[in-house]
Structure 1
Amino acid sequence: MRASRLLSALLLLQTRGRMTAQELADELEVSVRTVYRDMESLSAAGVPLYGDPGHDGGYRLLDGFRTRLTGLTRDEAEALSLVGLPGPAADLGLGTVLATVQLKLTAALPEELRDRTGEIRRRFHLDTSGWYAEADPTPHLAAVTEAVWRQRRIRVRYRRWTAPQEVTRTLDPYGLVLKSGRWYLVAARPAGVRTYRVSQLLRTQVLQDRFERPHDFDLAAHWQTYLADFDARRLRGEAVVRLTPRILTQLPDLMEPAVAHAALDSAGPPGPDGRVQTVIPIESAEHAVGMLLSLGAEAEVVAPAGLRALMTQTISALADTYRRPLDKHEASPRLDIQR
């Protein structure tokens, strides 16, 4: 660990020039006292290192000195594919390794390219988390990651939506997918390749049994096929809906992509009142009620009749709820909304 830290300190000085002890301590996540000891060790090892006193001082390397200790370890090479995803890299236990490999790569670049990569990091940031949702708790992600790397079978206790809700499965873990801030495990069992949400794993045991991953299995291609099949299985119904032009243009922000795209593609010409009739894919009438109510009075269900009736019942129940005056025990002045 100390050797890795010394190398990181050396690469930091090589790529950034003069740095104070406090700046080095912040980067290496150690104390300033530890930085002093590390600088003494580097100097004793023959590294041309100089310390400048004063307010604008700091440590620096002799002009022209460049270390060639930039070779990548196996772990660092594996972390390269996650170089733009610091959050997911940390989830997989590669956060520290990723920081080291970035330092090595930066140190190996000519000065003008180092400056360019620094500018890119300061101007562009990739955030893989989803909107309006917290990240899933994934206490078993580390064990699953280990099994994926080592090609070891796992025995899991999994919570699913259908009964029985808790099941035990023995799986061959082919790979992990990060989708909108949520981790999914793609794994094989005798019934075929299935997808499991990692946050729904209740218990995970990595077995000693090793499995052979098919050489022709393409994780990215499988995931795209899975998403298309998932939408086809899930969105089995249709609702004919009349929408105002304003709400029609807002559908991509209000609905999931597959539903919004289908609604926009099927939109007809405006009617006498300006509204547009379109067809929206739905899972079920019960699920569609909440989705369509979020569009407010700018959406009117035309068909099927059962969904229109369910919308009418729900809206009537809502009206009854809000017609009932609050008594003095239910009203809270602190929650009054001032206009």
Structure 2
Amino acid sequence: MSSSNNIAQVIAKGMGSFNVAMTSTANVLVVHGDTETMMILRMMLHLSIFENRPVEKKIWIMTAQMEFTSLSFQRDWDLDFIHGAISFAIHSVEVPGFQEFLRRRNPQVEMEDGFLKDFWKDTFKCWFHDSVSHKKAENICTGEEKLETLPGSVFEMSMNGHSYSVYNAVYAVAHAVHAMWLSTFRQRNPMNGDTWKLNQRPWQLHHFLRNVSFNNTAGEEVSFDQNGELIAGFDIINWVTFPNQSFLRVRVGRIDPKAPPNNIFTIHEDAIVWPSRFNQARPLSVCNGICRPGYSRMKKEGEPFCCYDCFPCPEGKISGHEDLLPISRQGLETTRDFRRSSDDS
């Protein structure tokens, strides 16, 4: 019972934070989480619509840990909430032959692959003849179903950043093991190859892994820095959705640690598609407008630091710029942008 109460409290707390964020004046919200966070966010948004609660569309900025996926009951839900979103993603490129590899998957041929069979049933909502429940199923799996026919919200044919990292990691370990074997081979009798395999410890691979450098099949260099971390960087992605439940991940920028200092971070603002309510203008996310010349900012009690009131300059003072801090009076901060009116004459 206590466990149920804890879950209920977590859900209630999450909904409370969600409602505060969605009803705030902020147009842009940053979400830090993982793939499950995306599922939960979709559920909360769907629940709001289901309960006829108006929700102002926001621009989401998402971290690289988050990947878009749908639970089985979410596959038909609207994707419009993510239209115009910006996300960081682990850098990736298209791996030659990967899509063809996916097109050749067939659970009827690869009967020993239990994962593929379970995935097929869940994804295509069908049953195999050897299933206990097949008599109740209207849809029988033939193995001829095509992965490319699935909406992007269910399955993507392109390799995402996390999969690309796994792909590179496997090859990096293979290169490191090969280098380690060559190093040991020169010191041992070639006939003791099997003994070498049994006697090695995982930590002995670290030295060779740090020195790995190779080009993968996509033509990109894979290497590690002096701290043993992969030199990869991030892509900046703009999400564009369509009424048929499909979407595009449009690369609009890059964080490239290998680039010259002035080009480590690049973004092409003109290529970004914003949500329709912004009419392709750069969105602003502020509590209030700027303070015009002749006024100074004064913090609002109990409000975030970016929220403030605008007060006229006191007698004998004048400001010539926007959004200035108050002058030195009763302990307030001094700013040289305030000048005595007599000094301007």
Same fold (TM over 0.5): no
TM-score bracket, normalised by the shorter chain, equals under 0.3
> Normalization by structure 1: what TM-score?
0.24
Q: Which has the higher helix share?
A: 1
Q: Which has the higher contact order (CA 8 A, sep 6+)?
A: 2
